[in-house]
Chains A and B, each alone.
Chain A
């Protein structure tokens, strides 16, 4: 028994495996297909011709995102939907997507946002975090913040100003969206925050899964805590919450984030019967874009 314990102690101190990489459901690809993507999507806009737009207004981009830990630069894939000629005057939505696949999967969502308030009234920018799609590197918590910061820097270079910028985080995207308002890394700071089905914290996800109050450190080094970060966000905040989210239960995730917000203005839209990925389709696409528009112009 003593031998077993000794071996155990050595193994414990030598251990270096973590579950962090399993937290990300990223997929590497060789090319983006956008409207021609044949993989699974939560919904598509084929039946909504009004949501289609001129591809002259769609720009595929490659950004450089610097890793502050190893000083490497990663090429990050991005897309901007809008007119470069008017970007300095336009209001831009920076869309931080969720934890699945790559931008092709989230393309219908970005297109929908490009139709808020009318076709191409607002610019929309979306990136693939490192390790997703064509973006180099592997996903990491710090990488999320650095990659979204790279997008902010690109927008700043294009002349976008803080008052014309809104950041939108869906699910995993709620982490960089909230963190970069609470602790800005760029002088370009979005003036509004929209979160769709946010998660509360990495530790709470651990505890949801285990059903026990296990420390998050047992499984992951990821320290994302949207519930804490939102406390220092002062910008107007809109929560879009699916009422029947089976993946991130509203009572322990979105509702908690909403309660912790202490800023100047907040509004919540609870969509009954909607699951984690079906808020738009359950609510109705036009109800969704109308609500977003009202918040943006408020």
Chain B
């Protein structure tokens, strides 16, 4: 089966190919290094697989409820585009009884290319609701080697904001707000955590004419992304 990616579709993928970085803040002074692999789902030789885009992330527990982080995108780098993220995640509220929390994550996406040295900056805000259904995130032991497993599921939205009012050929920019819903699960010990996220990207982008071997059982717009992330947690010293 001939796989044909349309240029337009690849653009869509590269422009929005990352999951929520951190849904639950680290503990104060904890550090985390994580690597993410994944992208929109495609049909490849009769298998449904995610396009293997990558990003590498570092995070630091600044306060009890606030973690700052940065990320780089190696896949974009390979195409001559420096794409970096600087952001934080803040626990807005946590309901002790139900173990449900709400977090918000403002992020600044900075992109530039090495070909024409164009620069773009995109503010992003992720809002997630999570349910800590296994273990207790709030009372998890900070000591390395803790084998107790905690897990949570989350549901939220990624919001990208386009600051430019015009685009190529002096046309008005049609959207200044892009929305992508996501759902995910995160589980692991105090030292290692793993997460899997599904994200619906390009809600309004028709996918019929942009790619042949495309997997989206839900609709003819957008793409469903699947992302796997491994986190190594370094306890506070």
Contact = CB atoms under 8 A, between A and B. Distances in A.
Contact of A217 (B7, B16, B113, B171): B113
B6 interface: yes
Question: Which bucket holds chain B's interface residue count?
Answer: 35 or more
B209 A212 contact: no
B174 to A, nearest CB: 8
B209 A200 contact: no
A252 B6 contact: no
Interface in A1-59: 1, 4-5, 8, 11-13, 15-19, 22-23, 25
Contact of A208 (B8, B84, B116, B120): B8
B237 to A, nearest CB: 17
B209 A247 contact: yes
Nearest to B166: A213
A19 B10 contact: yes
Interface string B1-45: 000111111111011100000000000000000000000000000
A25 B209 CA distance: 12
Contact of A218 (B5, B118, B206): B118
Contacts of A18: 79-80
- Centre residue among B9, B74, B204 by max chain A CB count within 10 A: B74
Bin the interface of chain A by size: 35 or more
Interface string A218-251: 1111000101100000000000000000110000
Nearest to A220: B7
Interface in B194-228: 202, 204-206, 208-210
A217 B162 contact: no
Contact of A16 (B80, B118, B160, B166): B80
B167 A207 contact: yes
Contacts of B70: 1
Contacts of B167: 203-204, 207, 213
A204 B169 contact: yes
B113 A218 contact: yes
B7 A19 contact: yes
Interface string B101-138: 00000000001011110101010000000000000000
B78 A15 contact: yes
Given A1-B58, A16-B80, A246-B206, A225 B12 contact: no
A43 B192 CA distance: 57
A201 interface: yes
Contacts of A246: 206, 208-209
Interface of A: 1, 4-5, 8, 11-13, 15-19, 22-23, 25, 200-201, 203-221, 225, 227-228, 246-247, 252, 256, 276
Given A211-B175, A218-B118, 19 more contacts: A4-B58, A5-B72, A8-B84, A15-B77, A200-B169, A204-B169, A209-B12, A210-B12, A211-B178, A211-B202, A212-B15, A212-B160, A212-B162, A213-B164, A213-B173, A218-B81, A219-B10, A219-B14, A247-B209
